[in-house]
């Protein structure tokens, strides 16, 4: 048998918060702040955003490993945070997240139109998230009411390891019956999501403005001047550059043009791991 590389994309694997819903990725970050506050541990929104893209238990572990947060924990409890403490915070976080995720579930402007355009091009739509299944069930239901119904969804606790492991992306490949990972594009607003796609052997597209990197609401983003957006692009591109995304775009609304560009590259025989 001879290897025949794909000549076009067959699937897009999309993140959720900050990519297709919840402009600014506020649902998870604000709940982290609230969960830590319930243990009398101050946490800023900026600190909460730091490990975004990881599974939520791993996110809390990463927060507790930050020197400033660990110092606050030691002052409050007289010891450094253990895995048992992380689990206690996670158990406080989860019901809050399930209860309040609907407050930040609106579709990102242009997302439905972009996804419909990908489907018109023959792409299947997979998806994955740092949310566990208990949260994803609610997020999926709200998105379905808004008109977004991906072909497959993989939650963070449905694979052995979450992002930046490639497991969730590859679980989509299996479920969608995609024959070659090079025929997939992974779209995400976080560094772990980019690494997930890279490690899965896919094309990768990073989103600058709709998610965690900018961390603004749609209204505040719209109010930015041309100069402010240019400065933010420069900062975010430098931040995500080490993850080696194939493309960086402002929001998912620009994705159909990128899919056309990737299809042209595939038709020329180019593959994602070569770049």
* 124 contact partners, CB below 8 Å, separation of at least 6: 10, 11, 12, 151, 152, 176, 178
Structure-block tokens of residue 181: 């990972």
Active site residue 56: yes
Q: CA-CA distance, 153 to 168, in Å (whole number)?
A: 9
Q: CA-CA distance, 123 to 205, in Å (whole number)?
A: 15
What are the helix and strand counts (H, E) for the chain? 12, 5
Tokens 């158990």 sit at which residue? 91
Do residues 19 and 194 touch, judged by C-beta distance below 8 A? Answer: no
Structure-block tokens of residue 83: 């895995």
* Given the residues 22, 56, 186, 189, the one annotated as active site: 56
Q: CA-CA distance, 29 to 52, in Å (whole number)?
A: 8
* Given the residues 15, 22, 188, 189, the one annotated as active site: 15
Q: CA-CA distance, 263 to 260, in Å (whole number)?
A: 5
Residues designated catalytic: 15, 56
């Amino acid at each position: 048998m001879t290897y025949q590389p794909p000549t076009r994309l067959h699937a897009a694997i999309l993140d959720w918060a900050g990519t297709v819903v919840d402009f600014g990725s506020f649902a998870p970050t604000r709940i982290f702040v609230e969960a830590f506050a319930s243990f009398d541990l101050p946490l800023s929104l900026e600190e909460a955003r730091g490990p975004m893209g990881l599974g939520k238990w791993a996110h809390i572990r990463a927060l507790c490993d930050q020197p400033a947060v660990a110092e606050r924990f030691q002052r409050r409890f007289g010891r450094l945070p253990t895995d048992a403490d992380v689990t206690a915070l996670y158990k406080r976080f989860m019901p809050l997240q399930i209860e309040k995720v609907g407050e930040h579930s609106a579709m990102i402007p242009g997302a439905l139109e972009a996804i419909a355009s990908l489907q018109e091009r023959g792409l299947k739509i997979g998806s994955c998230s740092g949310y566990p299944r208990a949260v994803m069930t609610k997020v999926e239901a709200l998105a379905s009411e808004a008109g977004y119904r991906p072909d497959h969804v993989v939650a963070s606790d449905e694979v052995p390891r979450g992002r930046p492991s490639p497991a969730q992306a590859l679980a989509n490949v299996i479920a969608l019956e995609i024959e070659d990972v090079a025929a997939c594009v992974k779209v995400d607003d976080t560094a772990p999501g980019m690494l997930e796609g890279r490690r899965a052997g896919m094309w990768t597209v990073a989103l600058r403005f709709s998610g965690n990197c900018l961390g603004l609401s749609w209204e505040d983003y719209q109010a930015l001047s041309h100069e402010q957006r240019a400065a933010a692009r420069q900062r975010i591109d430098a931040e995500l550059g080490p993850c080696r995304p194939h493309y960086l775009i402002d929001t998912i609304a620009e994705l159909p043009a990128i899919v056309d560009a990737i299809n042209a590259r595939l038709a020329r025989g180019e593959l994602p791991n070569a770049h």
